Structure 1
Amino acid sequence: IDLAVHSMKDVPTELPEALEIFAMTEREDPRDAISTRFPIAGLDDIPTGATIGTSSLRRQAQLLHVRPDFKIVPLRGNLDTRLRKLQDGEFDAVIVAAAGVRRLGFESQITAYLPLGQSLPAMGQGVLGIECRRNDTVVQEHIGQLNHAPSAFAVRAERALVDRLEGGCQVPIGAHAVVTNASLHLDALVASVDGTRVIRNDIDGSVEDAVALGITLAEQLLSRGADEILAEVYNN
C-alpha cells in the first residue's frame, strides 16, 4: 500500500523509521460521549452503582474519580457490538469517542457529552493521521494539502507529552491541546486506575514550541507524582 489512515489516538508515539505521519486532518469533537438506555444530561443523572462499559483505563480512572460508585466493566468490539450490548441490557451506559461515533453515522446514539473538565481525551482524539513512507515524495505531494496545521501542532504537543511519560493508548493519561493563532494551550493528566489520584496541570506557549511544551508539561507531572502512578500501572 502507499498510505494508511489512522485515528491518531491509536497511533503509537514511536513509528518504524521508514514511515511517518505526513498529514493530520482538522480535529473533530475531541470529547468522550455517553450512550445510555435512558435520557440523561450528564454523569450526575446516572443511577448510583450503574454498570458502565469501557475498556479504556483513561476513561475508567476519570469516571471513578467523579463517580466512585460506578461499576466499570470491560467493553470490547466494534461500535455496533458495543451499542448492541448496551441495548441488550448488559450495561447501563457505555463511553465512546464522540468523533468515532459521528464518523460511523451513529450520532443519534449519543445521549450526552462528557466535558473536558470531567474526561480529558486521549492524545490525538478526534484527528485522523495519514501515514506514508518517508521517501515517497509523490504520495506526500498529494496528501500534504490535507494537513490541518493547527490540529497537527496540537497533536504533536500531546504526543510529545505521552512519549515523555512513556505511555500508550491503554495508560490512564489524558492530553488535549488547543491552538489559537500562534499560541498553544496544553492540558494533561495522569490518574490512578481506581480514580483516587489525579495529577493534572496545563501549560501555554508558542505553536512552534509544541514538542518542547509537551515534554515540559510531562516533566512537571512526573515531578508531582505521576511517575509513581505510572509505575503502579505498568507493574500490574
Structure 2
Amino acid sequence: MPTQPPVRIGARGSRLSLAQSGTVQRRIAAALGANPEDPAEVERVAPLIVITTTGDRVQDRRLLEIGGKGLFTKEIEEALLDGRIDCAVHSLKDVPAERPPGLVIAAVPEREDPRDAFLSRGPERLEDLPQGARLGTASLRRQAQMLHRRPDLDVQLLRGNVDTRLAKLQAGEADAILLAYAGLRRLGLGHLPQSLIDPKECPPAPGQGALAIETREADQDLPWVQALRHQPTALAVAAERGALMALEGSCRTAIGAHAWLEGGSLKLIVEALSSDGARRFRHAGETEYAQLADPFGSAHDLGWSLGLAVKADAGDAI
C-alpha cells in the first residue's frame, strides 16, 4: 500500500518560531498517525526545516526601510513554490495581505492571547512611566497607539527576537517595551509582563496571536491540513485581515484590528493612526455569522467595510 510521504515544515530559526513550529509539527505528526510524544517519530514524518529570512538577517532598521514585513516570509514561500518544503508556519501578523500566486493560507490553528504586553523595569502601566520615558518598539502601530496615549514618550527603535529585546530592556536601552503576549506565553515567559494592553482600546495587529499554515493551492485540503483548522479563530482573523486588505496595510501603516465572537455575533474594531499618534480613526461593527451559508465571506466583508470606512475618514493622514 502507498505510504504518506513526510510533510516537510518550513519555519524561521528563532526560538519563538521553533516553539510555534514545534507545536504545529506535533499536531501534523498526530494527524499522520505518528506518536506526537516521540520526538524521533515526529521528526521522521514531519521534519522541520529552518530557513533564514531577510527579516531575520537585517536587525538594525525598521522593516519599512528594507521592504516590509514580507521579508519574514519571502524565502520560506520560495521554498514552498520550489517544492523543498510542503508547508510553512508563520506568525499570521507577519503575513502580507496578498499571497504569491499558487500559495494559500490553508489553516489557522486556535489562537493564543492576542494582546500586547507591557514590560518595564518598574512601572506597572504605560500611564505610570515618567515624563519623556523611552519606549522601545519596532512596530509603527505600537508607536502610534502609545504616542496617542502618551505624546511625551521618546519612542526608540528596538528590533530583534524576544530574548534580544528583553536583554535590551534589562540593559537600560529602554524604560519599557511592548511585545506580543502570545509569543511570551509560547516561550513560557507569560509571567514577565507588568500589565496587558486592552485590545479594544488599542487593537493589536491583524492576526496577532494566530499562526498561519501556508501550503501550495493543490495541498490546501489534505487531511493533515484540515486537522489544524480552528473555525472561531479563522473567522476572527478573516475579519481582521479583511480590514487589513481594505486599508492596503503594511508595516508602513499603523493599523490595529481586533475581532471576537460573542454569542452568535462576530464583533470587530478597526483603527488606523498617523505615525505620530496625533490622529486616530476608528470604526466598529458586527455581523451575525451563525446562520450564514458563508460565514468566512461575511467575516471578511465586515472587515473590508470597516477598513474602507476608516480609510475614507483618514484620507492622507495615514
TM-score between both structures, scaled by the size of structure 2: 0.69
- CA offsets, 1:24-79, max 9 Å, x none? 11121111001111141x21111111100001110011100111111000001111
The SS at the match of 1:135 is helix
- Do 1:34 and 1:114's aligned partners in 2 also have CA atoms closer than 8 Å? yes
Structure 2 vs 1, CA of residues 51 and 170 (structure 1 numbering), >3 Å: closer, same or farther? same
Cα distance, 1:179 vs. partner? 2.0
Q: Which residue, out of 19, 22, 30, partners 2:106?
A: 22
- Do 1:33 and 1:96's aligned partners in 2 also have CA atoms closer than 8 Å? yes
Are 2:221 and 1:132 equivalent residues in the alignment? Answer: no
Distance in structure 2 (CA, Å) of the matches to 1:20 and 1:145: 16
Cα distance, 1:170 vs. partner? 4.4
Tell me the residue number matched to 2:168. Answer: 85
- Do 1:12 and 1:169's aligned partners in 2 also have CA atoms closer than 8 Å? no
Distance in structure 1 (CA, Å) of the matches to 2:251 and 2:228: 25
- CA offsets, 1:72-104, max 9 Å, x none? 000011111100010001110011110011112
Tell me the residue number matched to 1:227. Answer: 315
Distance in structure 2 (CA, Å) of the matches to 1:82 and 1:140: 38
Structure 2 vs 1, CA of residues 117 and 153 (structure 1 numbering), >3 Å: closer, same or farther? closer
- CA offsets, 1:200-235, max 9 Å, x none? 1101113321111111111211222x22222xxxxx
Tell me the residue number matched to 1:152. Answer: 234
Cα distance, 1:180 vs. partner? 3.0
Tell me the residue number matched to 1:196. Answer: 278
Tell me the residue number matched to 2:142. Answer: 59
The SS at the match of 1:167 is coil
In the TM superposition, 1:62-211 aligns within 5 A as 62-136=145-219, 140-207=222-289, 208=295, 209-211=298-300
Q: Percent identity?
A: 47
Matched pairs, number: 227
Distance in structure 1 (CA, Å) of the matches to 2:109 and 2:254: 25
Distance in structure 1 (CA, Å) of the matches to 2:269 and 2:184: 24
Cα distance, 1:129 vs. partner? 1.1
Choose between structure 1 and 2: higher strand proportion.
1
Distance in structure 1 (CA, Å) of the matches to 2:217 and 2:278: 43
The SS at the match of 2:227 is helix
TM-score between both structures, scaled by the size of structure 1: 0.92
The SS at the match of 1:34 is strand
The SS at the match of 1:107 is coil
The SS at the match of 1:146 is coil
Distance in structure 2 (CA, Å) of the matches to 1:192 and 1:85: 27
Which structure has the bigger radius of gyration?
A: 2
Distance in structure 1 (CA, Å) of the matches to 2:200 and 2:219: 41
Aligned amino acid, residue 205 of structure 2: A
Aligned amino acid, residue 317 of structure 2: I
Structure 2 vs 1, CA of residues 168 and 140 (structure 1 numbering), >3 Å: closer, same or farther? farther
- Do 1:188 and 1:200's aligned partners in 2 also have CA atoms closer than 8 Å? yes
Distance in structure 2 (CA, Å) of the matches to 1:102 and 1:64: 26
Are 2:138 and 1:36 equivalent residues in the alignment? Answer: no
Distance in structure 2 (CA, Å) of the matches to 1:198 and 1:76: 25
Gaps of 5+ in 1: 231-236
